[in-house]
Each structure stands twice: as C-alpha cells, then as structure tokens.
Amino acid sequence: MRRSPKDTEASSRKITRRGMVVGGLQLGMLGVLGWRMRQMQVEQADEFRLLAEENRINMRLIAPSRGLIFDRNGIPVAENTQNYRIVIVREEAGDVDMVIERLRHLIYLDPEELERSLREMHRRSPFVPVTLTDQRSWEDIATVAVNAPALPGITPDVGLTRHYPLGEDFAHIVGYVGPVSDYDLNRIEDDDPLLQIPKFQIGKTGVENKYERDLRGKAGSKRIEVNAAGRVMRELGRDSGVPGANLQLTVDNALQNFVEARLTLDQSASAVVMDVRSGDLMAVGSAPTFDPNKFVRGISVKDYGELTDNIYRPLANKAVQGAYPPGSTFKMMVTMAALDTGEISAEDTVYCPGFTELGNRRFHCWKRGGHGYVNLEKSLQQSCDVYYYEMAQKVGVDKIAETARRFGFGEKFDIPMSAVTAGVMPDKDWKRERYGKEWLIGDSLNASIGQGYVLASPLHLAVMTARLASGNAIMPRLIKSIDGVETPIVGAEPLGFNENHLRMVRKGMFAVSNTRRGTGFSARIDDEGRRMAGKSGTSQVRNITVAERARGVTSNADLPWERRDHALYVCFAPYDNPQYAVSVVVEHGGGGSSVAAPIARDILLFAMHGKTPPLDAYPSGQRGRIREMLSKLPVRGTTPSPGSDRA
C-alpha cells in the first residue's frame, strides 16, 4: 500500500527529529569524552604520570649516619660500623612462610631472633622493610644475593650500627642505643619517620639519649625500580640525608680508664674528676660497670637479669645518680657559714670531751675520748664532730644551707647524663613542707656533720671542692664541642666569699693530708710540687643504739656489707696552684681515710701526670704495695711507671 505524500512527509519529519536527538546525544558524549581526555592528558598529566611511576618505582627511607662521639683528645668512644643484614618486605614476599623456609636452607637463622622479627613484621605495614637478621658475614650476603630469584621480598642490605670501642669505660657517660620500641614511641613526642623503621637505633641512656636529636641526623631516601613481581631491578637515585652532629666530650679516655680500673678493685664505688679552672669533667667513674655493646641489638634476658640482680647496681651511674650523706666532707660548708657570719675566727677554740649534750641526748664525736681544745684548722685536720655541733647551734641551719647551696649542694646540674640527682640541702622551710614538722636543734647537729637529711652525689662533692679550690662559681661541663663549635664555660665569676676565709678552709684541708695527725696523712702525696689538700668522710647508714655504744660500736668488718658505713674523700691539687678536684664515694666501704682517700690520691696523681703515677710520688714505705696494686690494674695499654724508688 502506497503511502500518501502527507504520511511520507510526517514520517520524514519524525526521523529527522530522532536523528537530531541521537546525534545530539552522541555529540554530547563525544564532547564529554573529549573534555575528560583533555583533563586527564593535560590538566592531570603530572598526577597520572606519578601514579604510573609509583607502579614501578618505590621510595625507601635511608637512615642517616649517626653522629660520632669523641673524648677530649679526639679518640672515638662511640662510632658506627658496617652491618650486613637481611630484610623482608611482606607484600613483595607473597607466601612469607615459604620464603623464610627457603632462606633457612641457605643460611642459619637464630629461632629467637627470627620469632621477634616475624612479630615485628606482622605489626608493621606490609610495605615496610623488616630486618630478619643482622650482623651477617659477607658469605651469607653473597649466598642470599645469588639465590634472589627464589626469594621474593628478601633483600640483602648493608647499614650502620653503633659500636663502643672502649666498652665499659664510658658506659655510664655515653650510655647506649637500642632498637626503638613502642614504649619509646609512646614516651617521646617525635614524628620523625625514621622512628617507624623497625630496629632503628635511638639513644636510651646517657649522652646518646640526651643528644638524640643532634646525633640522629635527618633521613635520606632512595628511588628503586621494581618489576611487576616487586623485585628490585636497579637504584635510580639516592639522597643520603644529613648525618648526625659529632660530639666531643670533656672526658679524657686514659684517665677515665684508670678511674674505672681503680674503682673496680672495690665492690661498689664512684668518682668524679673536675678541672677547677674550666669545670670540665675529666672523668666520671662508676663501678661496677657494664658493656654497652650488649644493648645495641637488644640485650638478652639472661644478660639483663645478671645486671639487674647484681646488688652492686652496675646499671646505675652512682657518680651523678647516687645521693649519699656527705659525712665529714660537709664540714667545710659549716666552717664557711660560720666564718661568713663572723661567729668564729681562725683561733677560736671549742672543747671536745667526746660528745655534746642536748637535753637528755648525747651527740657523740667519732673519737670516744674527745679531741680536747680544737680551733678551725685542727677541727678539719682531725675531723672533730663536737666543734661542728657547736658551730651549727651558733650559725643555724638556714645559714648553713644558704652557704652550701652556693657551693652547689641541692642543685640538679644540667649535664647530659641520665637521672642526675639534685640531692637534698635541707633547711627549716624544707622540713616543714616535706614532713609538716618543725626543724629541731638536733637536726642541725646531724646536718653539721653531713648526716640526717643532707644528701649529695659525688658530682656535688666534686663541684664543692672545685669551688673551694678556685673561689669561683664554676659549673660542671661534659660537652666540649658540637660539630667543632666549642660550648661555653659557665661560672668563672667569683663566688663572693671572703678570700681569707677560703684560704683558712684550704689550709685546714692541707693539714688533713699533710700533717701526722691529719685523718688523710697515710694517703698523702710525697711530691713537693703536687701536694694535695683533702677531707675524709664516713657516713653512717644505720643507727647506733645506746647499748651498742656502751659495749663498743660494732666494727664495719663485722657487719653485713649493706649495713657498713659509706667511705668518702674529696681533694684538690696542686695545693698552691689547683688544677683538679676529685671526689670518691665507696658504698659501704667503711672509713673514708682508709678506703676512699687512697683511691682519690691515685686518681689525682694520674690526672696530674697524664699516665700511671710514678712510685716516687708515694710515701716510701708504701711503694712496694703500690707497685703490686698498680701492676694488677686492668688499665688499657699502660704499665706502672717505676720512678725513682728512694725506699
């Protein structure tokens, strides 16, 4: 049936409209597609190019070289050594268990170390490299490299690890590094991406910890090309980052070694050697000590248990952490306070019958029969307690405390070592705030002989001695320079005490060491140009009952170790031109003059000579014994200097 021209025309109009609609839609789609293609190819080209690159290029952090630490003479005490290791990336390995099993057929893997690494791997993101084993030989690295096609995700690597070449000598000063832990991440506020690298080493104690940011440096990065299986094909670029700052300590490594060796002859002791002119800490010893290298990779439970179970506390830096009653070494502070107030003169005397009565209580002198009449010099020379009981009642504890603080007592010194104590320098307000009680006269008498509430570290005692010797408010300094830039000397200005009063105290200390009735005479230096001035101290750690005193005080040798008195000695030399101050504390060592004084003398002699002391610096009757003692010291690379034996 033929369609009429009218129907044909109408149909034609419909087709044209539909074609236009369809064509319009097609053109619109083409337009949108063209716009999108232009956007992707032109406007977003860089973004998609980067995404394409990331499919074949990985960015990995490079840990910077940790800053080195040197002694004052440029000898390294903390350095970095090469560390060959095997790392795994979980997302590249696929079947981790299978890959590790293959690896175990090629090289030995310690089961305990492997278990720790696997736990670490499952805690980290799958793309983070985790060290399976380190400190490997070059043969192990070569074996893994040759078998790389069968070990997806496994990569031999070389990095740096911390090493302490002088071992135990600097353990308490430099401290040690160890793998970063969750505890570390929760404790410190630091968003450095380096801390997310498993087993990344950070400072845990000592200078390593206090100067962590300076020593750590800034991370570098490397761009590596990988194939579709994730295998590394080549390294495309590297930014090594910024190495950590190098530190130079004020400590002399030879003196430090001698101090540690000398202290080790006793069970538990500490010593500080300080330059009285600059405040430089020449040695800071604490015995027994430990090997910091054991902590670098993570110390074993067995080794750590041996350290923590040791009653002599090898992990504690007793020189700055230990707080002890200073005993009679505190008597110089009472003397300075009394002189400063005008309460005494050099010739004023006090009669010592062996005790002082206060109410119905007796405060005893160490010498049961008393010292008779004593003046300032004799009170220091023979360490008469009664003289200082009387001074304490005249001067009062507040003046004593004020004077002692000017000499460093009660101050937490800003040096980069762990757990530095401020000690305790009590006064009336302190007791009221601490205990809610009023200060008693008996408290003053106890404080006057360095007992009761008074506590000080060997560092405090060294600072006190250096300030007495120099008359200046010198501050201890441990860091000599950072990246070659010298750190300033602080406190070279005068203390503000009358110089004549300081001379009186120094003269009394000289009498201690160089007169026959001096408590430190047996530990004197027999060298006219290097004579020392000193003061012994013996601090009680237990109460002596009336009954015990009546029958005779029990000898330290008859008491358990932990109930024996602490032995202390402070000194400086040369007397006429002071250079070094030394403090020694021997925990539960007994008498200060018999135990601590000989140690202090030996250390002081080494500091002045710069080597093992010559025998002619010792009294002639002691040289045979001294020779034998020095020959047994585990001193690094030195032998006793014979000198000229005039015995």
Catalytic residues: 328
Measure CA 347 to chain center. Answer: 45
Cα–Cα separations (whole angstroms), residue 280 to 74, 153, 217, 430, 463: 15, 51, 26, 31, 11
Q: Which residues of 256-272 are buried (b: 16+ CB within 10 A; e: fewer)?
A: bbbbbbbbbebebbbbb
607: its two tokens: 């500091």
The torsion of the CA quartet 213, 216, 218, 223, rounded to 10 degrees, works out to: -150
Work out the burial of residue 143: count CB atoms within 10 Å of its CB; fewer than 13 is exposed, 13-18 middle, 19 or more buried.
middle
H or E element in which residue 528 lies? none
* CA pair distance 493, 600, nearest whole angstrom: 27
Please choose, from the candidates 375, 355, 377, the residue with its C-alpha nearest in 3D space to the C-alpha of residue 365: 355
Per-position DSSP letters for 363-375, written without gaps between them: EE-SSTT--EEE-
Contact criterion met (CB below 8 Å) for 467 and 162: no
Contact criterion met (CB below 8 Å) for 461 and 570: yes
Please choose, from the candidates 251, 287, 283, 291, the residue with its C-alpha nearest in 3D space to the C-alpha of residue 268: 287
Measure CA 590 to chain center. Answer: 28
Contact criterion met (CB below 8 Å) for 454 and 448: no
Residue 349: how many other CB atoms lie within 10 Å: 14
